[in-house]
Chains A and B, each alone.
Chain A
Amino acid sequence: MSVKGVKNFVPDDVRVLVQGITGKQGSFHTEQMLKYGTNIVAGVTPGKGGQEVHGVPVYDTVKEAVEATGANTSIIFVPARFAYDAVLEAIYAGLNPIVVITEGIPANDTVKFLRIAKANGVRIIGPNCPGFIVPGLTKVGIMPNQYFKPGNVTIISRSGTLTYEVAWNVLKAGFGHRLVVGVGGDYVIGTNFLEFFDEILKYDEDTEAVVVIGEIGGDDEERLAKYIVETGFDKPVIGYVAGRTAPPGKKMGHAGAIISGSSGTADAKIKSLKEAGVHIAYRPSDIPEILKRVIK
């Protein structure tokens, strides 16, 4: 089966650069991605140029790496305090998309690099995300390899582990994945649900159904619901929202997962999605059954 790239997002010819490749995380996931078949062409760690990590050449700067290898996509593992610099280095070297795995980046840094990315027409995924996978084509992320197979179900999620759980359930039910992406658990993220739908999914002919995994906090789910209503998005969408039992005012693991006052509750999100015609799953295990119903 030959799998194509995803328009406005993943090029057919993905050539991955790993920023922070010599670190523990960077090195481990480089190996995992290579095992999956990802075309990792270069790594960068300042001061470690000339080394190799799992056979991947390491450069001191992103510019050199891009010039030497034609890398077009970046995945970033550098520690939070260096992330701002690393993302901008990638932007100005022309990499696009840029996946920021790093957790713990201050929101002040994130809003700045997102704004500059936008001014340069560059897409950012994350921060604090598991990345993305297009089974059969590439994995630019940290998800475990074994739960993903090519197919036509796209999963967009604010979560990490829960996404793998759902992906696995989808697989066990006999479906495969077109694209699985974790948008990130941080308070401010590069590409949110609405943007994914409007800029990417509506153009992707290979997506037959979309599973959206939301959680408490913010209003990304509500805004997506509004978008679906307003644009008449015409592929079946299944929604699951985690945190129905979460108390207000407490940060539930993710920086963005917090109910403030009366806003950001799971119930409000579920209500909005339901009214927009989204098929609601109340348990992750409901998803395969719904998929069987909505995919003819």
Chain B
Amino acid sequence: MRDEVIITGIGGQGIQLMAKTLALAATRGGLQAMLTSDVGGEMRGGPSQASVVVDDEGLRALPILPSTKSVVVMHHKHSAFALGRLVPGGLALVNSSVADPAAIRDAEVIAVPALEIARAADAPNAAGFVMLGAYATLRLIVDVAALGEAMRELVPPYRAQHVAANLRALEAGAGTVLAA
């Protein structure tokens, strides 16, 4: 079982926390994961991208993926690199609250209005976790409960107040895919 995903967007969207949650959930489940991130110098607003590769044993993967089976587009800005690496017919999960799904060609495009869903789930800052819940449900590498545990472990003490909202967002994201 191998999966690869590049998550792309702008600083402040929680892209690095999404990717780390996925990689940690896989690790806790006894799988091997590799996660790389590429962020600009600034803390906010600059390009933010992360790649996650998951395998059973003997994971051999490059920190800069030559190609990827799936992409999660949190924002259209800076998404050219990730979309350029998507294999033809690969999965493109798009945060349609901000990015335009129609702009993506030659892929299985799934639009998720993550911001609206996050607000509806009373988790306005957790659009990233809505997308992660949707992605994990599409790919079935790790389940939403494992993601919730990994997120709980990763959220630093000075942001613990967001854990409950993040969990609601994960569930809401998974629900969107199951309902579709």
Does B associate with A? no
B interface with A by C-beta (< 8 Å)? none
A interface with B by C-beta (< 8 Å)? none
